[in-house]
Amino acid sequence: MIVFEPLQMDQRNDVARIQVLELTEQLLSQALGLSLTEQALDVLVREGFDSLYGARPMRRVIQKRLEHPLAGLFSRVTTLLLMRVMKV
């Protein structure tokens, strides 16, 4: 059996930063950007860690808090742009 030590707060922050950086790189490849405040990162860390599961929930929290809202926003903006182009 392998026993893992609980992550310290600085390690939790590192995991969150790495996963947000991955999302940021995906956005940059589409000419978009993302910047988070320390308070926003703290929310991800607080919601994305579990005493039993460690950092495993972080991915889902980033999807729920960042990726899904951004996808909905970009979808609406794209629709509006298409409608605008078609009206001209």
The neighbouring-strand residues paired with 5 are none
- Rounded Cα–Cα distance for residues 35 and 5 (Å): 31
Mind listing the domains of the chain with CATH numbers?
A: 9-87 (1.10.8.60)
Model pTM? 0.78
Phi and psi at 50, nearest 5°, equal: -130, 140
User: What 8-state DSSP symbol labels residue 63?
Assistant: I
List C-alpha distances in Å: 18 to 1, 24, 28, 61, 80.
28, 10, 15, 14, 33
| pLDDT for position 36 | 92
- Rounded Cα–Cα distance for residues 44 and 29 (Å): 23
pLDDT tens digits for 40-57?
Answer: 999 999 999 988 888 889
> What is the pLDDT confidence band of residue 88, given thresholds at 50, 70 and 90?
very low
